[in-house]
Amino acid sequence: MITLETFEFQAKDFYLKNGYEIFGVLENCPFEYNTYYMKKNI
């Protein structure tokens, strides 16, 4: 399993298109942005 974190203004959509799934969200961190925790089974 691969895990990563990304902000909503970074590469979230790229990772979703490449088979990652979101398993956690930290809202409004930092500031008005969300942090997404993602995983992919290999």
pLDDT for 30 equals 81
* Strand bridging mode 2-7 / 21-26: unpaired
Q: Which domains does the chain have, with CATH numbers?
A: 2-40 (3.40.630.30)
Q: pLDDT tens digits, residue range 1-42?
A: 999 999 999 999 999 999 999 999 999 988 899 999 999 999
State the Cα–Cα distance between residues 16 and 1, nearest whole angstrom: 15
Q: Distance of alpha carbon 32 from its chain centroid, rounded?
A: 16
What's the whole-model pTM score? 0.86
For residue 25, the model assigns a pLDDT of 98
pLDDT of residue 15: 97
